């Protein structure tokens, strides 16, 4: 039997690709680095997600400089409040997990996402992740380093990531699908 870390390797590869996608969608060029300097009370956001096969927690931590750099309204002349940045890091948690959720669909993993929360200096002791496997990524934005961490736990012994080709256009839509005329 393989270890949880081996079972989760495809998930962590998708997580890294999702992280790059989110930064790119914000017009932010990043380079993955191995470590980050410890910050005092950095803004943090977290979001939980679950499927029948997986339980996950995404934790984002980063300095105000990175949040300001990625904020869509940057440069519009308005001052940005700390509340705005706390809202923004929650939105980022939602975007990171949402991007990962979409990538997992072609592997037949359907996540149910919780609501993102933001706080200052959230530590892992706040969460029950002792039996989770983690992947912590650090991204240098040119102004500072941002931390993206995914904590995951398989809920079944038979966890697999088998790619299924997405449905093609022209197939009959389900009742819940959007049809554009």
Give domain limits for the chain.
Answer: 4-154
| Position 73 pLDDT exceeds 80 | no
At CA 17, angle to CA 46 and CA 63, rounded to 5? 45
Q: Which CATH superfamily is domain 4-154 in?
A: CheC-like (3.40.1550.10)
User: Rounded to an integer, what distance in angstroms lies between the CA atom of residue 13 and that of residue 137?
Assistant: 11
Which residue in 84, 39, 93 sits closest to 62, CA to CA?
39
pLDDT at residue number 1: 41
Per-residue pLDDT, 144:
94
Q: Would you say residue 55 has pLDDT above 90?
A: yes
Convert the pLDDT of each residue in 111-144 to its tens digit.
999 999 998 767 667 788 889 999 999 999 998 9
């Amino acid at each position: 039997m393989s270890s949880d870390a081996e079972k989760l390797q495809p998930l962590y590869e998708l997580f890294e690709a999702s992280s790059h996608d989110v930064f790119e969608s914000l017009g932010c060029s990043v380079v993955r680095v191995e470590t980050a300097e410890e910050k005092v009370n950095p803004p943090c956001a977290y979001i939980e997600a679950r499927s029948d096969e997986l339980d996950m927690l995404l934790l984002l931590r980063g300095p105000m400089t990175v949040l300001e750099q990625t904020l869509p309204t940057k440069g519009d002349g308005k001052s940005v409040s700390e509340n705005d940045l706390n809202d923004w890091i929650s939105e980022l948690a939602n975007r990171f997990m949402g991007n990962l959720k979409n990538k997992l669909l072609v592997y037949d993993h359907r996540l149910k996402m919780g609501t993102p929360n933001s706080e200052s200096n959230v530590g892992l002791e706040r969460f029950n992740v002792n039996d989770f496997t983690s992947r912590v990524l650090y991204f240098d934005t040119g102004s500072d380093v941002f931390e993206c961490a995914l904590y995951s736990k398989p809920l079944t012994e038979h966890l697999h990531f088998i790619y299924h080709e997405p449905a093609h256009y022209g197939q009959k839509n389900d009742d819940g699908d959007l049809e554009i005329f």
